[in-house]
Every structure is written in C-alpha cells, then in structure tokens.
A = this chain, B = another copy of it.
Amino acid sequence: MRPSSPLIEVARLSHSYGDKEILKGLDLGIARGEVFALIGPTGAGKTTLLRIMDLLEIPSSGEIYFDGQRVPRSGKQRLAIRRRMSFIHQKPQVFNASVYDNVACGLNWRGEARNKIVAKVDCILETVGLEGYKNRNARTLSGGEAQRVALARSLVLQPEVLLLDEPTANLDPVSATKIEELLSTAARQRNTTMIMATHDMSQGQQLADRIGVLLDGRLVQTGNAGDIFRSPQSTEVAHFVGVENIIGGIVIANDEGVATISVGDDHHGIGIQAVSGCPAGQQVYACIRPEDVTLTPMLYQSSARNSFQARVTRVTYLGPLSRVEMDCGFRLIGLVTRISAEELNLQAGHELYATFKATAVHLMERKSRQ
C-alpha cells in the first residue's frame, strides 16, 4: 500500500502489437475525483491506453497501480478491480437483447437485487433520454441512441472510475451537451474519476481538470487546459491543439522579461514582443492562437504590445467564426466572429491591423539543427 497515491497510476508502461510499439513508456497518475482528458491524433494510442487501464489488455511492460495496489497480471483480483471501473468503448456495442437487459446487465453481474435494478435502470434511462425504449431490441437503435445506451449501461453502475472513449462522437450538439452535463454532474456529485479520450477539444477543455496529449505513443505534455492550449511544449503539440501560428525567429533582445523576436521570411526587422525570460540569441518559435489575434481597421491603442499592418489573403467561415489568413511580413492567422468580419468588410486584398498581446505569445525553444 502506497500512502496518498493516485487512484489509478501507470508506470513505465509500454505496449507493442507485434513489432509495432504503440505505447512507449508512459507514466501517469490520476487522483480520485479527477477528470482527465486524453487528446491526440488518431492512432496515437489513446484507446490502447484506456484498454490497458480497464485491464482488458496486459501491457508488454510496466505496471498499473489501482488505489495504491499493484494490479497483478492475472487472477481473480483483476475482475474485482475492473468492477470498480466502467469503460465506454469507442464503438459502442450493444448486446442483442432489449435496452433494459443491456442496461441491467452490469448490475445483474454484480448480483444486485432485482427490484433495485429495475428502479436504477428506469432512472438512468430517463436521465439519458431513453424512457420508453426499455423493451426495444438494442440492435435496432440509431447510432446516437446506441451511444446513449452504452452510456447508461456504464453510468448505472456508479463506478469509481469512468473510462470514456469518444463519448459523444455519435451525438448531435444538443445531445452531446446534455451528456457532457450528465458526466460533469457525476464527477461532481459522486466524485467519479474520469479518464476520457476525446477528439473534441472544447469537450476536453470544458470537462477536464487536466489534459494529457498523447502523440505517437508518448505522453508529451500534461497540464490544465491553459497550459496545453496556450503553452504547448513542442511544435507537434502546438499544431495539434490548434495553435495555427507557429512562427520561427530569433530573440534579439530581452528587456526585463519582455523578449523581442525577429521574425519574417528574411528577418528584416519585424519584431514580435513576448513576455518570456528567453535570452537574446535563442532560436525560438513564437506560438500565437488565432483567436488571440484581434483585427481593427485602424491602429488601435491598447495594452497589446504587438500590432502589425496586415493584408488579408484568404477568409474562410467556420460556423460563428471567420478564419482570416493575413500577410504581415510573416504569415498570421486570426479568428474573429463572423460579425466582426462583416463589419470589417474582410476579404482578400483588404488592408487592416492585426494586434495581439505580448502575453498571448508563447515562446518555444527551437533546436538549432532545425
């Protein structure tokens, strides 16, 4: 027994399928009640990690600790531990039985009393909006309905740990929001620990206490949403979390924690200011999230330190937002509301001013060989 250890922890975890190493020495501990989001491109190993945590797969090497105890590689204890968790798989698979039987099965398997089961199932079906589906064969449900059955089936167990693999991938935004609310309620009210793999960045951001970025089998960065989205530690992470501006340059001065970086294709004199301790002479990447860029028709006096004249090269619409590509001597992408875009009459060729704060610039060291 290791005192005050995380509820679930993996150490030096590696896993291979055949010759292919999928997970490469992960260390990760998740505290009781924590909501942890695992993000990463497809094929990164998210599902594999969740499967190992749910004790479905035995890792090639490394250890898993649950509630302070080392999980053995075989034996009855694994079932006991697994019953304290519940895993909602990426492709929700329903059993060829009624919706009721699907949702009740976990409780049945735990030997719960029948009348309790009936009450619990009724309650959870209502919660996920499937009242009246009780006697339907689950195989005939629509994609979203099946996903909700899968959710209900896990939630009804009130597990200590909930492992979720893309829990809302098949749901429309309205239903997805409902489910997210359901999950965060569970997390708060029952102190459920949650580990979710998700492609939906905003879901990760909203629900998670902490986010881990899995790239190519390595957990390259963990931290809260702010860390991950604003201070990525590598260009790969930056790229993945939607930092569209990754501008190479060199620090030419550092004045009391405000660095000036020379950027641009031929480095002739465009300087970006960033709040950073980076010393002069350091090769860096300056990372700026597109939504941190504001556009104004005139040079706009504000606390933002960086303001550049820009020529719009392309505008694309993404729902309520417009993505504006600009040339300011370097390539800059901004994200503004559609209404601002209309007011500014944004279109290719248009000239305007792009502004971002020195605090919005995140500097990343750049290996010199690059």
Which of A's residues lie within 8 Å of B, judged by CB? 17, 39-43, 47-48, 90-91, 140, 142-145, 147-148, 165-166, 169-176, 199, 201-202, 205-206, 239-240, 242, 289-292, 294, 302, 316-321, 335-340, 343, 360
Contact = CB atoms under 8 A, between A and B. Distances in A.
7 A-B pairs with least C-beta separation = A42-B144, A291-B320, A202-B319, A172-B199, A90-B143, A169-B169, A43-B142
Contact of A171 (B42, B174, B242, B360): B42
Nearest to A141: B43
A205 B316 CA distance: 11
B339 A294 contact: yes
Given A42-B144, A318-B202, A174 B291 contact: no
Given A173-B201, A291-B320, 10 more contacts: A41-B174, A42-B147, A48-B142, A171-B199, A176-B199, A205-B317, A291-B338, A291-B339, A294-B337, A294-B340
A320 B321 contact: yes
A337 B291 contact: yes
Identical copies of this chain, number: 2
Contacts of A292: 338-339
B320 A42 contact: no
Contacts of A169: 166, 169-170
A306 to B, nearest CB: 13
A43 B340 CA distance: 36
Contacts of A289: 320
B42 A142 contact: yes
Nearest to A172: B199
Contact of A42 (B17, B47, B140, B145): B145
A138 B201 CA distance: 27
A48 B145 CA distance: 14
A47 B202 contact: no
Given A321-B320, A321-B321, A140 B17 contact: yes
Given A292-B339, A318-B202, A338-B291, A174 B144 contact: no
A291 B360 CA distance: 23
Given A91-B91, A169-B170, A43 B320 contact: no
A291 B343 CA distance: 13
A290 B319 CA distance: 12
A290 B144 contact: no
